[in-house]
Amino acid sequence: MAQSKLRVVHYLNQFFGQIGGEEKANVPPEAREGVVGPGMGLKTALGAEAEIVGTVICGDSYFGENMAEATGKVLELIKGFEPDVVVAGPAFNAGRYGTACGAVCQAVVRELGIPAVTAMFPENPGVDMYKKDVYILPTADSAAGMRKALPKLAAFALRLGRGDSIGAPEEEGYIPRGVRRNLLAEKAGAARAVEMLVAKLRGEPFATELPMPRFDRVAPCPPVPDMAKATIALVTSGGIVPKGNPDHIESSSASKFGKYSLAGLDDFTAEAHQTAHGGYEPTYANADADRVLPLDVMRDLEREGRIGKLYDYWYSTVGNGTSVANAARYGAAIAQELKADGVTAVILTST
């Protein structure tokens, strides 16, 4: 008797689900039979051993703003297809999409007892949020890496579906989950440590058994020589925007920043301003956005001559869940504009 194919369900966001772009990010979960969008490439990579029996799609904003409800509905739709394994994404460096993929895979494993795998850029915020519970394969930072990502996802999904034993991340290629296992080594730890030290001193390659996180070293800026002649700009990751959030900056995993005029403004007011940030209680910020971005105080300093001038615009984005790569890109773009406009220094506020 021929062995039946593994049943695979594919989770996608609204863009890869071919519903639309950001204007469709609020669509609720829906299910479709068979293959959608990048599922065609996944189907090819799976080969004859498995078939994609269904695709579940949900808008990134809808999922992020209704996580409990969206997760429950997505699980219900996935369960209806009776899969052997679930594949989510790949999400690349899209923060909201990566968060949704991680949450879906975590829930599938915990609630349905079905293996799941996703893939995304290592700096996607979904990695830190879900890597302890979910197998996440590393990808490029954009969909340009789709052709390389899908075969790896398919191969890993087949192994999960077959119930194969999954080895260590350095052997299998997934992002380390922080799981430690006791192993019997041929040499004592002291001997291995000395060997590593000697290799390092000799400039020879070696692999540490306890990798540490790497952080950028940022040199402090020199002091402003004369504040009374300085042009100061206001920048925030606290999400302060004009009322209505005209640029639709996301409450989490922001995909953009906004630039807004300060012309004629001495104070942020509850009638005209708000926070778009979803990572802190917004009541006090919405009542008086100066609590996050001190426009009122800066105008006082300007009138008193303690600073030369307040720059004519403020910049805002949301730091909640935003990837390091995106944040660095926003910072570089903002800094380039400020430098071109002769800004002397920046007051950067968070939450």
Report the alpha-carbon distance of residue 17 to residue 55 in Å, rounded.
Answer: 8
* Within a domain: 161: yes
β-pair partners for 32: 55
State how far the Cα of 36 lies from the Cα of 14, in Å rounded to an integer: 11
Kindly state whether residues 241 and 154 are assigned to the same domain. no
Domain-located, residue 189 = no
Whether residues 90 and 162 fall in one domain = yes
**Other beta carbons within 10 Å of 214:** 6
Rounded alpha-carbon distances, angstroms, from residue 147 to 14, 150, 151, 329: 20, 6, 7, 25
User: What CATH code is carried by the domain that includes residue 126?
Assistant: 3.40.50.2300
Q: Is 10 among the domain residues? A: yes
Instruction: Mark whether 247 and 102 lie in a shared domain.
Output: no
Other beta carbons less than 10 A from residue 281's beta carbon = 10
Q: How confident is the prediction along the chain (351 residues), in pLDDT tens digits per residue?
A: 346 899 999 999 999 999 998 889 899 999 999 999 999 999 999 999 999 999 999 999 899 889 999 999 999 999 999 999 999 999 998 888 999 999 999 999 999 999 999 999 998 889 988 999 999 999 998 889 999 999 999 999 999 999 999 988 888 999 998 777 777 888 998 999 999 999 999 999 988 877 777 777 888 889 999 999 999 999 999 999 999 999 999 887 788 999 999 999 999 999 999 999 988 889 999 999 999 999 999 999 999 999 999 999 999 999 877 777 788 889 999 999 999 999 999 999 987
* CA 323 to chain centroid: 5
Looking at the structure, tell me whether residues 146 and 284 fall in a common domain. Answer: no
Length of the chain (residues): 351
Of the residues 172, 202, 235, the one at which a domain ends: 172
Residue 71 lies in a domain: yes
First to last CA, the chain: 62
Identity of the amino acid at 292? V
pTM, two decimal places: 0.68
Instruction: Specify whether 168 is located in the same domain as 283.
Output: no
Domain boundary among 135, 152, 172: 172
Are 125 and 269 contained in the same domain?
A: no
**Residue at token pair 């071919």:** 18
Pair (135, 284) in one structural domain: no
> Contact 256/268 with Cβ under 8 angstroms?
no
H or E element: which one contains 275? strand 273-275
Identify whether residues 244 and 339 lie together within a single domain: yes
- Dihedral of alpha carbons 68, 72, 73, 75, sign: positive
CA atoms within 13 A of residue 81's CA, in its CB half-sphere? 28
Q: Which of 143, 172, 201 is the last residue of a domain?
A: 172
Residues 166 and 24 occupy one common structural domain: yes
User: Does residue 145 lie in a domain region?
Assistant: yes
Look at the block and give the residue holding tokens 């996607």.
124
Number of independent structural domains in the chain? 2
Note whether residue 88 is domain-resident: yes
Instruction: Give me the residue label for tokens 């079905």.
Output: 114
Instruction: Report how far residue 240's alpha carbon sits from residue 288's, in angstroms, rounded to the nearest whole number.
Output: 10
Pair 234, 131 in one domain: no
Question: Is residue 222, in this structure, part of any structural domain at all?
Answer: no
Domain-embedded: residue 18: yes
Cα separation, 121 vs 89, in Å, equals 11
Which residues span the domain enclosing 103? Answer: 6-172
What does the alpha-carbon distance between residue 150 and residue 38 come to, in Å, rounded to a whole number?
A: 8
Same domain, 13 and 102: yes
